[in-house]
Amino acid sequence: MLKKALFTLLSLALIGAGLALFFPDKTATVMDYLKLKTSGKYSVAQRLEQFGTAATNRLAPHFQQAGVAFPPTAITLLAFKDSKRLELYARDPQGAWQQVQTYPIQAASGVLGPKLREGDRQVPEGIYAIESLNPNSLFHVSLRLNYPNAVDREWGLADGREKLGSDIMIHGKAKSIGCLAMGDVVAEELFALVAWVGKENVRVMIAPTDFRLAASANVPTANLPSWTEGLYQNLRTELAQYPLGK
């Protein structure tokens, strides 16, 4: 048994070294993979034991300053592609949304405009829910969005598009292919918050720009599907309930 375990460990190390040699830009991902294979998988509870206290210490002062209880009853994440910014909102005791924190998005591939098909490297645009939490992500920890949602599938059917893509996450690290990469520390905060609040009480809105700002009111849609303007109008309407941060 010991000999088999040592052989497996050596094999994984050799595989990791080979991948790191030929794909140096994937070294961090390879190392995460090896750590998972050699140390076992984490549960959500174990991840919270690891970094929950540190996340609380960082988050609680921001909630106090915003006049919102911690942990909150509901949160919304607003992501803006052009400014690479993610804003965290939570409900105050009166039920109004208050901005709690703003984070820089470390990486988000693609350009302005919705995701249309598998492999286009686009970050989706729209309103999404959190489908699940992954405590064993190759990108540290991650939140899986419910892309494609019902609206995405409806538009895909209307356009004759079948392979819409999947596996869209908010995760750690600083590289992205269609996801929002937030760095490990921020990913831990968001992961912990969603675990405490409950994924059913979390909303994620991804927009090409912040439609609340006059300078960002209009985004060119000439080369995008005809339904894009309707999508953007819906985002404008929904964003209006979230006051701009002071």
Residues 6+ apart with CB under 8 A from 27: 20
Residue type, 1: M
Annotated catalytic residue 62: no
Sort 85 into a burial class: Cβ within 10 Å, 0-12 / 13-18 / 19+.
middle
Helix, strand, coil percentages (3-state) for the chain, rounded to 5, are 40, 20, 40
Residue type, 221: T
Closest CA to 38 of 2, 8, 3, 1: 8
Helix intervals (H) in the chain:
2-22, 27-39, 44-66, 150-159, 184-197, 228-239
CB atoms within 10 A of CB 241: 10
Sort 155 into a burial class: Cβ within 10 Å, 0-12 / 13-18 / 19+.
buried
d(CA 156, CA 152): 6
- Peptide linkage before 148 cis (omega within 30 of 0): yes
Task: Pick the catalytic residue from 75, 108, 179, 239.
Answer: 179
Task: Pick the catalytic residue from 135, 171, 173, 235.
Answer: 171
Annotated catalytic residue 162: no
The catalytic site residues sit at 171, 179
